[in-house]
Amino acid sequence: MNHVMISADDLGFRYPEQTSNTPDILQEITFKIQKGEYIAIVGGNGSGKSTLVKLIDGLLIPTSGYLTVNGISVTDQNHLADLRKQIGLIFQFPEDQIVASTVEEDVAFGLENYGISTREMHARVRKILEGFDLWDLRGRATTMLSAGQTQRLALAGVLAIGPDCLIFDEATSMLDPAARKNLTGVMKGLHNEGKTILHVTHSMEEAFQADRVFVLKNGRLVYDGTPFDLFSLPDISNWNLEYPEIIRYTQIFKQLGVRLPDHPRVLHDLVPYLADQLRPVKVNQIGLIKKSADPIIQISDLAYTYLAGTPKAVPALYQVDLNIPANSGYGFVGKTGSGKSTVLQHLNGLFKPQQGKLRIGKHDLTKTYNLVDVVRTSGLVMQNPESHFFEYYVGDEIAFGPRNVGYDGRLVDAVSWAMELVGLGFTEFRDKPIHTLSGGQKRKVALASVLAMKPEILVMDEPTAGLDPISRQEILKKFSLLINTGMTLVVSSHNLADILMLTGNLTIMDGGRSTANGNTRDILWDINTLLNHGIEPLPMIRLGHELAKVMETDFDPIIEFSDLINQIQVGEHA
């Protein structure tokens, strides 16, 4: 590995429309990337990560400094085609990069642009589609693919060109854990084939698997080194980063006197050491049986088909049965396409049940209802809610909901109450233009814009997706406070850690059916049920099961680190 693939020297960038008092998007960036390296690029929302990768692909032109790919300057328009052939860029939302109307034509699009002969193109398209298990779908319209198929197609279209370097720009952020694991597996496979990988991510677990990490903060490269050195630093929160689980747990175990290897990669690496040095302690857990509150949402035999009665009809729900207790947190988990979002849109009255029964508070949705009345009871925060903003100022956006549904007292009080609840000071933020806010602050505005209607139930679809670790932690804390105010929280998330933190009960959705309902901890501990539904268990739960197996003991559910610590003692087996 002594061939420099990408080289940046004092690189800077600013958009022409930026005002003179705003800093450059990227400033004084210098690095060298060797061919075949696997680099993670991390940093808070708006730190300049995506701008950097666009510069590397020649999609933006630097405003200062130098940037070369295999010796070709990104400003050299005569060799731009040679440069772009070497770089493959995978976007966060794969549907954004699908250009053609059918699967095979989309894979061929890049090859057509580079003038590859028709015969060779057909051979390459077939090979790549077979490799991604899409050959049988080659004639299908690209708009008719599932989320997983679209992701594979986006990758196939890029790989068909045969780039040496692949850039994944937050490509894993919207995926369910199983799909995320699959895609990171593909990245590792490509890396093993000798490809250079640049992975922009908010996941510290993913960054930890890289050879090298770049940290960006306010457009500057503030760290360039190994993940071990990065996560050995005493404080990384000012870079909007957090420590991966493996680092946090290793430190605690070491403090307890357990001898561990210097650089474990995953929790699984700890199993033999822990099994050797720990012994189980029987804990008599005093079961506090908490009586469930009366259900505020009741669903039975719910079914729904999109575009029902048309040739494009797509069944989304077949049978959903569940009750959601009042004043609690309730979760929905399941693979992409399992029907979670469709159920959530029923809980807000956006969809009327086509079959079955649905009651939300006092509203029976099987009968004719007024949507505004239901919205007043149950507020919904949809995925990527900040993309639906239409007002210029924060205060106006938040006032939109209560203005529509009515409010008790003064409108300004409703807005102020909601803003303070999510941690946005009313006087500081009400007159701020929305576009000047950070990603985390925008998500808080979206949350406040629903909370201002003072609903009894707050339904949220992937509320932390796309946020950097610190913004995610902040917003999760706000959600926890909401439950304490007596609100019922319904959350759908691919992130089981969010579900664990916010909910007491959950439902697993699979293929449009509610296949398991119950206590969150019990279901998360039931590793076989999760795996049978294509859900990747939390690493700590896997560790708990592996330890139980190796130590030949039965643990009570180990869901969080404290559960493990409570059930072990340091010391050799008797």
Partner 1 sequence: MHDQFEFSRNLIFPEYSETGAWTQKRNSGWLLFSTVLYFTATLLAKSWGNLLIGFCICVFLSILARMDFKSNFRNIMRTMPMLVVIAAISLFSNPISDSSPIIINWWIITITSLDLENAGMLIVRFILLMQIIGVLTSSLSITRFIHGLEDLLTPFKWVGIGVHHFVISVEIAIRYIPLLTQTAERIAKAQASRGAAWGSRSGSLNSRVRQILPVVVPLFTISYQRADKMAMAMDARGFGMKGKRSQYVTDRVQLIDMVIPAMMLGYLWMVLS
Residue 176 CA to residue 182 CA, distance in Å, equals: 10
Q: Which stretch binds partner 1 (CB under 8 A): 113-121, 179-187, 266-274, 465-473?
A: 113-121
Judged by beta carbon, residue 127 or residue 181, the one nearer partner 1 is: 127
Strand partners, 519: 505
Residues 312-331 that bind partner 1 (CB under 8 A): 312
Residues 405-424 that bind partner 1 (CB under 8 A): 405
Q: Judge whether 24 and 219 are in contact, CB under 8 Å.
A: yes
Among 24, 37, 57, 498, binds partner 1 (CB under 8 A): 57
Alpha helices, DSSP H, located in 193-226: 204-208
Strand partners, 513: 319, 510
E-strand ranges in 35-126 read 38-43, 64-69, 72-73, 87-90
Strand partners, 42: 215
Q: Which stretch binds partner 1 (CB under 8 A): 39-47, 85-93, 198-206, 530-538?
A: 85-93
| Closest separation in Å from C-beta 424 to partner 1 | 17
| Inter-residue long-range contacts of 417-421, CB under 8 Å, 24+ positions, other chains counted | 417/451, 417/452, 417/454, 418/448, 418/449, 418/451, 418/452, 419/394, 419/448, 421/448, 421/451, 421/478, 421/481, 421/482, 421/485
Q: Judge whether 63 and 219 are in contact, CB under 8 Å.
A: no
Q: Which stretch binds partner 1 (CB under 8 A): 126-134, 139-147, 239-247, 277-285?
A: 139-147
| Closest separation in Å from C-beta 22 to partner 1 | 20
Amino acid identity of 27?
Answer: Q
Judged by beta carbon, residue 177 or residue 379, the one nearer partner 1 is: 379
Judged by beta carbon, residue 223 or residue 330, the one nearer partner 1 is: 330
Q: Judge whether 498 and 464 are in contact, CB under 8 Å.
A: yes
Among 2, 21, 117, 485, binds partner 1 (CB under 8 A): 117
Judged by beta carbon, residue 217 or residue 454, the one nearer partner 1 is: 454
Q: Contact letters (x/-) for partner 1, 477-516, by CB under 8 A?
A: ----------------------------------------
| Closest separation in Å from C-beta 13 to partner 1 | 15
Q: Which stretch binds partner 1 (CB under 8 A): 89-97, 277-285, 410-418, 546-554?
A: 89-97
| Closest separation in Å from C-beta 494 to partner 1 | 19
At residue 86, φ and ψ (nearest 5 deg) are -85, -15
Judged by beta carbon, residue 146 or residue 569, the one nearer partner 1 is: 146
| Closest separation in Å from C-beta 147 to partner 1 | 13
| Closest separation in Å from C-beta 349 to partner 1 | 8
User: What three-state secondary structure class fits 179?
Assistant: helix
Among 105, 396, 522, 526, binds partner 1 (CB under 8 A): 105
380 Cα distance to chain centroid: 19
Among 24, 37, 104, 468, binds partner 1 (CB under 8 A): 104
| Closest separation in Å from C-beta 273 to partner 1 | 45
Residue 414 tokens read as 């409703």
Among 118, 226, 355, 569, binds partner 1 (CB under 8 A): 118
Amino acid identity of 185?
Answer: G
Asked whether position 115 contacts partner 1 by CB under 8 A, the answer is yes
105, containing H or E segment: helix 103-113
Judged by beta carbon, residue 227 or residue 385, the one nearer partner 1 is: 385
Q: CB-side exposure of 187: number of CA atoms within 13 Å?
A: 31
Residues 439-468 that bind partner 1 (CB under 8 A): 449-450, 453
Q: Which stretch binds partner 1 (CB under 8 A): 223-231, 280-288, 344-352, 481-489?
A: 344-352
Question: Distances in Å between the alpha carbon of 36 and those of 33, 84, 229, 570?
Answer: 9, 17, 21, 42
Residues 143-182 that bind partner 1 (CB under 8 A): 143-144, 157-158, 161
Stated length of the chain: 574
Residue 316 CA to residue 303 CA, distance in Å, equals: 8
Residues 349-408 that bind partner 1 (CB under 8 A): 349-352, 354, 371-372, 375-376, 379-380, 382, 385, 387-390, 400-405
Judged by beta carbon, residue 82 or residue 269, the one nearer partner 1 is: 82
Q: Which of 406, 458, 449 is nearest to 424 (CA)?
A: 449
Residues 291-310 that bind partner 1 (CB under 8 A): 306-308, 310
> In terms of C-beta density within 10 A (0-12 exposed, 13-18 middle, 19 or more buried), how is residue 284 classed?
exposed
Question: Distances in Å between the alpha carbon of 223 and those of 7, 34, 473?
Answer: 16, 17, 22
Q: Judge whether 330 and 489 are in contact, CB under 8 Å.
A: yes
Judged by beta carbon, residue 56 or residue 470, the one nearer partner 1 is: 56
At residue 279, φ and ψ (nearest 5 deg) are -130, 145
Residue 24 CA to residue 60 CA, distance in Å, equals: 14
| Closest separation in Å from C-beta 185 to partner 1 | 24
| Closest separation in Å from C-beta 397 to partner 1 | 10
| Closest separation in Å from C-beta 89 to partner 1 | 5
Residues 267-286 that bind partner 1 (CB under 8 A): none
